[in-house]
């Protein structure tokens, strides 16, 4: 045996003893470590549990302390809408283009289209989407791009109840209010609020204004295709509002429209046949045409009359959410506007032609046409209602007939306004029965009628007989006129090259049309406007103005 082996053999017993002792010490320390580790884990779990309880408690307290705010005043504001006698949209007055409608007036496919586009779990969710809230919070904290994905309930809270501020605290409050709203109000109530406040572009807030601005119809008349198109617009209203006039925008909106309809079919909101029948709708042109400026004369007159009938101010009317059904006929109005815009040949350079055209229903007083000026933006003064125009020989029939009542002052007025003389000639056409002119047929609010017009008539020319009616001078019918005009009269102030004003009236039992033409040299500096002579061609214009709307069936 070598010396090294002998030495190793001598050392092994001691080494084994020390190794065994080490193992015993390690074995003794292991339970202590395990116990310490367990205590640490239990303490950490307890701390986490306490934090969780604290967070839940804070959430509960925050939930209980968070009230549901009242809608912003601006989201509660409504506009008043004016339509013609056939329901065609004329325009609106008010701070925002919005009118509230009950959900019952919104067709169910339109409701389903909005849900398919914006929040497919709306009918079953709790008012929030936790995943979307977390994604938005992370994005806000990291300074990233703002994230969407809010539920319909959250969007309603954000649009109508809270400020547009983009912060984590506001987003948290939005979620709390959305949950509370979902627990305290029905889904239909929330959807109604959302549809009445969400922005659709084209200045339209709410589904009713959107239906008018995009398609010229009331919300209850929206088709499946139109409803899906409006639902598609909500995504980016400032971009999609140009649909119908911008081909690229229209194409992109059509893609989204298809996606919404497919989702409705998948969910059972549309049958396969209904999906197949849906057609992409035609949009009203945007921005609106030049005629809208001229229609402000109509709206002015109807707004003043409506406010008087309701006993409120014009400003209160504009903010009241009314629908004013006027007596006007938009087709006849536009025909007159277009013809006047063509002007008359031979008018001296620098001379301005003025026209006032009024169409009235004899024996009733409903105003069908009211042309008061070419451009409201440049001349808000209404020549038809407020202009004093020399009558001249246009008053001759009334000097002989000696009318009483409302027409008695006419014999003492050398320059009546066109409405006065037009209503007098309408009385002649109604066998001497005068009807007070009116421009408002009915006024509704939230589907309820709050005012209806009743004609105010009186006999002002007693015992008007056929020989008296024959005092009208014959007015040749317009080229192509199928039927002769029963009554007609022309007159004015000045004759030949000195003609200053020209009046012409034609009448049937359905409509009496009066046109007044005059010209002036516009004011320059301190020099006021002065009368100008009319060219001989003015007669042809007047004749067309009083014949064409009669043929067009303005009544």
Q: What is the pLDDT of residues 153-210, one digit of tens each?
A: 988 888 887 765 656 666 777 787 888 888 889 999 999 999 999 999 998 999 999 9
pLDDT given for residue 473 in this prediction? 41
Q: Which comes out higher in pLDDT, residue 44 or 241? A: 241
Q: Determine the average pLDDT of the residues in 305-318.
A: 94
pLDDT given for residue 294 in this prediction? 78
Closest alpha carbon to 107 in 191, 12, 8: 191
DSSP per residue, 221-241: G--HHHHHHHHHHTTSHHHHT
State the pLDDT confidence band at 145, using cuts at 50, 70 and 90.
very low
3-state helix, strand, coil in the chain (%, to 5): 50, 15, 35
CATH code of domain 101-277 = 1.10.3810.10
Percentage of residues in the chain having pLDDT higher than 70: 75
Q: CB of 373 within 8 A of CB of 379?
A: yes
pLDDT of 553 above 50: no
Q: Determine the average pLDDT of the residues in 462-491.
A: 54
| C-alpha span between 71 and 163 (Å, rounded) | 11
pTM: 0.74
State the pLDDT confidence band at 410, using cuts at 50, 70 and 90.
confident
pLDDT digits (tens, 9 = 90+) for 9-43: 555 555 555 565 566 555 655 666 666 666 667 66
- The architecture of the domain spanning 330-551 is 3-Layer(aba) Sandwich (3.40)
pLDDT given for residue 63 in this prediction? 53
pLDDT digits (tens, 9 = 90+) for 126-139: 888 776 656 655 65
What phi and psi values does residue 362 have, to the nearest 5 degrees? -60, 135
pLDDT digits (tens, 9 = 90+) for 342-401: 888 888 887 888 899 999 999 999 999 999 998 887 788 899 998 889 888 888 888 888
pLDDT of 298 above 80: yes
Question: What residues pair up with 505 in beta bridges, in sequence order?
Answer: 489, 514
pLDDT given for residue 54 in this prediction? 58
């Amino acid at each position: 045996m070598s010396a090294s082996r002998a030495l190793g053999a001598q050392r092994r017993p001691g080494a084994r003893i020390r190794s065994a002792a080490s193992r015993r010490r390690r074995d003794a320390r292991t339970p202590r470590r395990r116990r310490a580790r367990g205590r640490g884990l239990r303490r950490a779990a307890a701390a986490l549990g306490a934090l969780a309880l604290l967070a839940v408690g804070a959430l509960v307290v925050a939930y209980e302390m968070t009230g549901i705010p009242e809608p912003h005043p601006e989201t509660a504001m409504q506009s008043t809408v004016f339509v013609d006698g056939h329901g065609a949209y004329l325009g609106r007055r008010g701070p925002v283009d919005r009118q509230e409608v009950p959900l019952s007036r919104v067709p169910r496919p339109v409701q389903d289209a909005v849900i398919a586009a914006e929040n497919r779990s709306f009918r079953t969710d709790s008012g929030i989407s936790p995943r979307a809230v977390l994604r938005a919070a992370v994005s806000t904290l990291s300074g990233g791009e703002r994230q969407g994905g809010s539920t319909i309930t959250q969007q309603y809270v954000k649009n109508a109840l809270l400020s547009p501020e983009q912060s984590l605290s506001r987003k948290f409050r939005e979620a709390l209010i959305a949950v509370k709203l979902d627990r305290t109000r029905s889904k239909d109530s929330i959807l109604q609020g959302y549809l009445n406040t969400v922005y659709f572009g084209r200045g339209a807030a709410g589904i009713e204004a959107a239906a008018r601005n995009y398609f010229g119809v009331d919300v209850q008349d929206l088709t499946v295709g139109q409803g899906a198109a409006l639902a598609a617009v909500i995504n980016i209203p400032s971009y999609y509002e140009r649909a119908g006039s911008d081909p690229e925008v229209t194409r992109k909106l059509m893609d989204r429209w298809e996606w919404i309809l497919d989702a409705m079919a998948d969910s059972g909101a549309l049958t396969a046949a209904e999906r197949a029948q849906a057609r992409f709708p035609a949009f009203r042109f945007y921005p609106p045409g030049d005629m809208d400026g001229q229609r402000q004369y109509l709206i002015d007159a109807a707004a003043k009359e409506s406010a008087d009938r309701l006993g409120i101010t014009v400003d209160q009317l504009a903010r009241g959410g009314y629908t004013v059904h006027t007596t006007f006929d938009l087709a006849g109005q536009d025909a007159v506007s277009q013809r006047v815009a063509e002007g008359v040949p031979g008018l001296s350079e620098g001379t301005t032609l003025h026209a006032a055209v009024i169409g009235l229903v004899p024996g009733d007083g409903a105003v069908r046409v009211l042309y008061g000026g070419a451009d409201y933006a440049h001349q808000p003064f209404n020549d038809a209602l407020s202009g004093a125009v020399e009558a001249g020989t246009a008053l001759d029939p009334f000097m002989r007939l000696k009318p009483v009542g409302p027409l008695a002052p006419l014999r003492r007025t050398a320059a009546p306004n066109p409405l006065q003389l037009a209503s007098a000639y309408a009385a002649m056409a109604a066998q001497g029965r005068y009807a007070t002119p009116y421009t408002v047929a009915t006024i509704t609010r939230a589907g309820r009628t709050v005012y209806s017009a009743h004609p105010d008539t009186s006999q002002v020319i007693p015992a008007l007989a056929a020989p008296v009616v024959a005092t009208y001078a014959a007015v040749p019918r317009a080229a192509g006129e199928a039927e002769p005009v029963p009554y007609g009269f022309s007159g004015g102030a000045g004759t030949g090259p000195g003609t200053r004003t020209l009046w012409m009236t034609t009448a049937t039992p359905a409509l009496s049309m009066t046109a007044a033409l005059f010209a002036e040299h516009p004011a320059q500096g301190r020099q006021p406007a002065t009368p100008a002579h009319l060219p001989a061609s003015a007669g042809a214009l007047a004749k067309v103005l009083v014949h064409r709307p009669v043929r067009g069936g303005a009544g």
